[in-house]
Structure 1
Amino acid sequence: MRFLEMLLDVFLFPGNLMLRKCGISVEEDGGLFRSFINMCVWGAVSLALAMYILL
């Protein structure tokens, strides 16, 4: 179970980092801003990895 919590922390790290930088609490955000940031970051990572593998 500890591994899954650690994996979740890593997955949500970019969004949580941006929330802290902007001074927004998780309760104030409601998950929208954090989800957007995480989607952008992990989407870019996935795209870069796919391009590296396929090209």
Structure 2
Amino acid sequence: LHRDVWGHRFDRGTNLIDVYVGYVRRKLAAAGCAARIETVRGVGYRYVPADEAAEDRNDG
């Protein structure tokens, strides 16, 4: 993502992606959007569309 968006190599020591994912999460919540972005430990992030997120809430 970092290379494709900003055009340079990603320094794993920075939390730049974490910060921007946090911004997007807050914007989704503020808009009342049921979709979410999950953290997948050791991998990165996963976008969960609203319909799948609703199914998860109904199953739990």
- Give the TM-score normalised by the residue count of structure 1: 0.44
Relative to its length, the structure with more helix (as a share) is: 1
Task: Identify which of structures 1 and 2 has the higher relative contact order when contacts are C-alpha pairs closer than 8 Å and 6+ apart.
Answer: 1
- Give the TM-score normalised by the residue count of structure 2: 0.41
Relative to its length, the structure with more strand (as a share) is: 2
